[in-house]
Amino acid sequence: MPRVSVARRIPESQTVYEKARGMTPRPSKRPTSQATHTGPATSTGSGLANSGVIHKLVLKFPPLQPPAWEDRLSDAAAQLAGHSQRNGTEQERRRGVCTPPPIQVRFTAAPEDLVAQSANILGTELGAAAPEPLDLDGRLADIADVYRRTSGRLVILGERGAGKSVVAQRLALELLDSRRPGQDPVPVVFGLHRWDPATELRDWLTACLQHDYNGLDLTGASGVSLAQDLIDNGYILPVLDGFDEISPGWHKDALRQLSATTMPLVLTSTTDAYTRTVRGGRTLSRAAAIVLAPLTWDDLRLYLPRTAHTTSSADEWNSTLAPLSPSDDDLMANPSGQALSTPLMVGLARSIYSDGPRNPRELLDTEKFSTVSAVQTHLLDQFVPAVYEGQCPWSAQNARRWLGYLAQRPARSDIAWWSLADSVPRSQRLIALALPAALLGAVTGRFAFGTTGGIAGGALLLLLGALIGWSRSPVPARMALRVSGRARHVLDQLVVGPIGGLTVGLMGYPMVRQWGWLTLALAGGAASALGGLLTGWARQRDPEADVKPLWKETGLGLVGGTAGGLTVGVVCLLARVPKPTDAYGLWLILGCVLGLAFSLGAAVLAPIRVETVVTPRALLQANRRYALFQACSVAPAYGLVSGMLTDPVNGLVLGPAVGLAFGIGAHAWGRWLIVVRFWLPLTGRLPWAVWDFLDDAHQRGVLRQAGATHEFRHARLQDNLAEHYVESRGSRFWSD
């Protein structure tokens, strides 16, 4: 394959495939000096907590000079290459691919009816001599060379468990090893089971990059994110794994989108699914295709004895394989030999027999294993018990049940810690979140205002908890606590907070005096909406800010401020605080202090940088810090207002209660804490040490890590675990 340049000196939108064919580059917007951020919201429930106001009129800082956009793209591509290489190497290590040396899986060119014409694959000019057929036969070690013979589009076909994902990952790693920075694209593996083809491929790839890697939602002056520009400018080579895992009804639409794009790509699929899709239609345009061959007796003879830890264990494998003839036909006629013709089953057999005390000779029992399906089912059934043998904090039986619950969740999606709560039926989520909320409200209200306050507080938070339980978990915000180098941002925050607070005082005093305490909800909403508007305007000028559309910033401020004003109004009603008469100055001071308290909380929040590796645990820890920090910034603000308007003791009680409710209810970590850490273990579906269990399953090779989420090692293993779980439970209470 011709080398393709994506150097910074050629920033125009031009795909690798177009460059490989010598096509004229298509023009592109050229992002310039400044950048903003479009990551998850950092709202504390009030626009007062967000970033600053007019730089030129308020703060006399020199203009910011962020790096040029082309430099940001190149740096992001370099960081992405490092992350992809580490992730791929870790996956191979977990699978034991390289210890001992991997099986040299063979492949051949796919049948002609599954492949585009050679002239179209190579981009041969009209009227030129027909090119020679591509030589695509080879073994695993040849995969990168075979890919370079194409013009950048390759389909890898094979049966389930044939090693398609392993071959695709090995191709990505070899291309990364030989990659020339600034010239060659970065291979990135994408799991197609996440893709709904109703979403445009380009948009989905952009969302995946932003999901799996930090900092790629940073946007330039043109409004295009780093992730999108990396794709548009040919910095990314998508390795699309699992075409067959897309919903069957969407296969033709997915193939149509893949054919329409000009970008280079690698696609894996089961042979049957791909054949059904292209039969009577069109193959993937301009794409070569290979088919992975079954393993042979020689492959098994060379590999399986090497997986044993001792010579005696190796002899057990040799004696097991000896009765199988070197003839491929004889091997396929034997149930065990045919079952071991795929790398997946060989890997399972290795875990069960080479890494455990069992003797592989039992596979030769033709009475027990009379069919290929019987052997495969046996290997799938025994894999989890084998990897959980010996010293382990949980029994194999429990581990299998918990993994089964994860395997049979709705839509069988990735195991994202923030969405595990959504796998619980809504009726149970309502109970899990509403009851502790009601208890918190009742205890707080009873302590501060007596029996009436306890009833009102319990009812109010019961409703709030029910609403939270009914809704789906938010995607966790990726925020870090950072002050270094952010003086301008901090000072901006300290300006906008008091402005919003003054607005609350100016509007709230006459409204409460005229119509009562509940009108604080209107004053708080209006002031916070103003803060959100100023926030959105200012963040568009800040290269490290977390930007949303102005209408969304204003709307979030309106909702958060209304809720906050209503909370304070209800507290004052319960405390029987008289309407204000002559304390206008106190209201203005309280407003300024309240705004300052919120702004201090938001001043040190910053998006996580691109160079920070995304892992499930790191994202959980970051969101937990974010939630706790915002809870601690909300608590003194509401405690101060409640204490000044009612009684200092009430402030000491109500402030922490409001902060705790906000910290848990408004963040993904709060739902994880209540539903996943307590409710699911209480009902037996997950262990109490949920995170340790997930991490341990990853270490044992049952799960693999995909960016910020986990997924099962293979779909067939997930199917097996889900089937056993449903059979053992049988009740809809346990299956969703």
For 106-292, CATH gives 3.40.50
Question: What's residue 329's pLDDT?
Answer: 53
Two tokens at 258? 């893949």
How high is the pLDDT of residue 280?
A: 67
Higher pLDDT, 692 or 537: 692
Residue 600: is it exposed, middle or buried by C-beta count within 10 angstroms (0-12/13-18/19+)? middle
Q: Which of 265-274, 321-330, 350-359, 566-575 has the lowest mean pLDDT?
A: 321-330
Q: Mark out the alpha helices in 575-610 (DSSP H runs).
A: 584-603
Read off the pLDDT of each residue in 355-366 and give the average, rounded to a whole number. 84
CA distance 687 to 665: 23
Per mean pLDDT, which range of 52-61, 428-437, 560-569, 660-669 is the poorest?
Answer: 52-61
The answer on pLDDT for 64 being more than 60 is no
Neighbours of 293 (CB within 10 A): 17
Instruction: Name which residue leads in pLDDT, 357 or 716.
Output: 716
Q: How does residue 57 score in pLDDT terms, banded at 50, 70 and 90?
A: very low
Residue 405 — very low, low, confident or very high, per pLDDT cuts 50/70/90? very high
Q: 219, exposed or middle or buried, with CB in 10 Å at 0-12, 13-18, 19+? A: buried
Q: What's the rounded Cα separation, in Å, for the pair 570 and 644?
A: 15
> 124-156 in b/e burial notation, b at 16+ Cβ within 10 A?
eeeeeeeeeebebebebeebbebbeebbbbbbb
- Position 407 pLDDT exceeds 70: yes
Residue 27 pLDDT exceeds 60? no
Residue 55 pLDDT? 43
Section 432-456 average pLDDT: 87
Per-residue buried b or exposed e for 706-725, using 16+ beta carbons within 10 Å of the residue's own CB = bbbbbbbbbbbbbbbbbebb
pLDDT of 305 higher than 80: yes
H-state helical runs in 179-289: 201-212, 226-232, 251-260, 271-278
Q: Do 556 and 525 contact (CB within 8 A), yes or no?
A: no
**487 band by pLDDT with thresholds 50, 70 and 90:** low
Q: Report CA-CA distances (Å) from 362 to 311, 343, 365.
A: 19, 20, 6
81: nearest Cα among 191, 206, 153, 180: 180
pLDDT above 90 as % of the chain: 24
Contact status, residue 286 vs residue 17, Cβ threshold 8 Å: yes
pLDDT over threshold 70, residue 595:
yes
**Can you give the pLDDT at residue 106?**
94
3-state secondary structure of 634: helix
Q: Which residue has the higher pLDDT, 540 or 530?
A: 530
Q: Which is more confidently placed, 526 or 683?
A: 683
Backbone angles phi, psi at 607, to 5 degrees: -60, 150
Model pLDDT, residue 579: 77
pLDDT greater than 90 at residue 686: yes
**Average pLDDT for 700-717:** 87
Alpha-carbon span 396 to 390, nearest angstrom: 10
Q: How far is it, in rounded angstroms, from Cα 158 to Cα 344?
A: 12
Query: In 10 A of CB 510, how many CB atoms?
Result: 14
* pLDDT reading at 621 higher than 90: no
Q: In the predicted model, is pLDDT for residue 545 greater than 60?
A: no
SS3 content of the chain, % helix, strand, coil (to 5): 60, 10, 35
Q: How far apart are CA 384 and CA 396, in angstroms?
A: 7
Q: Is the pLDDT score of 21 beyond 60?
A: no
Can you tell me which residue has the tokens 């919201």? 41
Give me 15's structure tokens.
């795909």
Q: Which range has highest mean pLDDT (90-94, 260-264, 562-566, 634-638)?
A: 260-264
State the average pLDDT over residues 548-568. Answer: 72
**Which of 48-57, 208-217, 353-362 shows the lowest mean pLDDT across its residues?**
48-57
pLDDT in the model for residue 547: 55
Judged against a pLDDT cut of 90, whether residue 441 lies above it is answered with no
Taking the C-alpha atoms of residue 292 and residue 341, their distance in angstroms, rounded to an integer, is 11
pLDDT over 50 at 335, yes or no: yes
Whole-number percent of the chain with pLDDT over 70: 79
Residues 217 and 125: their CA atoms lie apart, in Å, by 39
Q: So what's the pLDDT on residue 117? A: 80
- pLDDT band per the 50, 70, 90 thresholds, residue 654: confident
- The residue that leads in pLDDT, 131 or 655, is 655
Tokens standing for residue 564: 């906050």
Helices (H), 326-477: 328-333, 335-339, 343-349, 372-387, 396-407, 426-470
H and E: helices and strands count for the chain:
28, 13
Evaluate whether 9 touches 523 at the Cβ level (below 8 Å). no
Among residues 122, 237, 229, 228, the alpha carbon closest in space to that of 175 is found at 237
Residue 108: CB atoms within 10 A of its CB come to 12
Neighbouring-strand partners of residue 108: 291
Average pLDDT, the chain: 79
State the pLDDT at residue 551: 67
3-state secondary structure of 288: strand
Task: Note the pLDDT tens digit of each residue in 628-644.
Answer: 888 888 888 778 777 77
Say whether 480 sits in a helix, a strand or coil: strand
Is residue 485 over pLDDT 60? no
Residue 154 makes CB contacts below 8 A (sequence gap 6+) with: 146, 147, 266, 267, 287, 288, 289, 290
Q: What are the tens digits of pLDDT across the range 71-114?
A: 888 888 898 998 888 888 888 887 777 788 888 999 999 998 88
In the chain, where the domains are located: 31-58+70-78+479-654, 106-292, 306-409+703-736
CA distances from residue 672 to 95, 313, 675 in whole angstroms, order as listed: 29, 44, 6
Distances (CA, A) of 457 to 28, 226, 279, 694: 57, 46, 64, 37
pLDDT confidence tier of residue 535, bands split at 50, 70 and 90 = low
Q: Identify which of 717, 623, 709, 721 has the alpha carbon closest to the alpha carbon of residue 190.
A: 709
pLDDT confidence tier of residue 267, bands split at 50, 70 and 90: very high
Which two three-digit tokens encode residue 648?
A: 């200092």
